[in-house]
Amino acid sequence: NQDNTNLSTTTNAQTDIITVTEVKVNVSMPEAAPKAAATGADGVGLLRTEHMMLTDGVHPKKFIVDDNEDELVKILVENIIKVVDLFHPKPVWYRTLDAPTDEFITLKGGENEPHEHNPMLGWRGIRRELDEPDILRAEFKAVKTLLDKGYDNIGVMLPLVQHPNELKHAKEIATEVGLVPHKDVDFGIMVEIPAAAITIEDFIDVGLDFISFGTNDLTQYSLAVDRNNELVAAHYNEEHPAIMKLIKYAIKKCNAAGVKTSICGQAGSVPHIVEKLVEFGITSVSANTDAVEAVRKTVARAEQKLILNAARASLNNDDDDLFD
């Protein structure tokens, strides 16, 4: 009983640059989606939900406390549909809620939020959503509603995953609400904690369609540099060799297993970093709207260089020597 009548197909400005590595765009709020789609990006590599859930100043938990889950699901559907419709049939990866406790405190219904000394190392992302699964359940129900409407271009991305059991648990909750991970919906994790990059094979064993590097957090956790602390801002280096090594390693393991790879942190909008990621074999990058064009050109150049080098290497191996 699918209702496909309102599905639209992407008609935004197309580009004459074709890349094998997909170039996607990050979207933080539905209102920004038309501009993002106009770049001709190959999809949305990060759809943030924080603005959809928090902008009206109400703590999402309040819907649950008030026994009004349906309203939360409705708000999510109304917001997400604007993006999946605009981009259809290109994929949109919806990231589940990831806000630190200090961002919840000022909201209506946020009076009981705990005060944490270091919210960035605290109760956020998937760890919180699994402790309080009502909101995660509402998010999955919203995704299921969109699938039932025929939007087959939506994927689910879990933030701040640190252990394969978190992925396993989240998939169980998805299944409970009728979502079928890997079959009717792509399921992936953000790699933004070094532990996840180092043990990526264990996540692949649980079952993954894609990963996306959240380099904003991966940088702060790899280097022990609070991303919001100006005193240590000079030490915040997304190109630190340790981070490049983690990314290269995880891409290699994912490529071997047929798992898609992407990046949605700010580093994905920096052309010379993107060039390295293409050399590592990343299968897509997701940039800010205003960086998509430059990133696309960088990706195309990096791919040409790889192809030319491979062709030259094979010519040099040719033993058809004139003087043999």
Residue 164 as a binder of ligand PEP (CB under 6 A): the answer is no
Q: How far is the CB of 105 from ligand PEP (least distance, A)?
A: 18
C-alpha neighbours within 13 Å on the C-beta side of residue 78:
9
Q: Which of residues 155-194 bind Mg ion (CB under 5 A)?
A: 192
Which one among 216, 248, 279, 303 touches ligand PEP, defined by CB under 6 A?
216
Pick from 188, 302, 164: nearest CA to 254 = 188
| Contact (CB, 8 A) for 210 and 259 | yes
The token duo for 223 is 């280097």
* Residue 60 contacts ligand PEP per CB under 6 A: no
Output the smallest distance, CB 163 to Mg ion, in A. Answer: 17
Helix (H, G, I), strand (E, B) or coil at 141: helix
Output 155 or 265, the one with its CB closest to ligand PEP. 265
Give the closest residue to 69 by CA, choosing from 53, 46, 48, 49: 53
- Does 214 bind Mg ion (CB under 5 A)? Our answer is yes
- Other C-beta atoms closer than 10 Å to the C-beta of 97 total 22
Task: Give the whole-angstrom CA distance, residue 53 versus residue 77.
Answer: 11
Q: How far is the CB of 297 from ligand PEP (least distance, A)?
A: 22
Structure tokens at 106: 């000022």
- Of ligand PEP, Mg ion, none, which one does residue 209 interact with (CB within 5 to 8 Å by kind)? none
Q: Does 217 bind ligand PEP (CB under 6 A)?
A: yes
Q: Does 217 bind Mg ion (CB under 5 A)?
A: yes
Q: How far is the CB of 212 from ligand PEP (least distance, A)?
A: 8
Q: Are 254 and 284 in contact (CB under 8 A)?
A: no
Q: Is 192 an interacting residue with respect to ligand PEP (CB under 6 A)?
A: yes
In the complex, what is the shortest distance from the CB of residue 118 to ligand PEP, in angstroms, rounded to a whole number?
15
Contact residues: Mg ion, CB under 5 A: 192, 214, 217
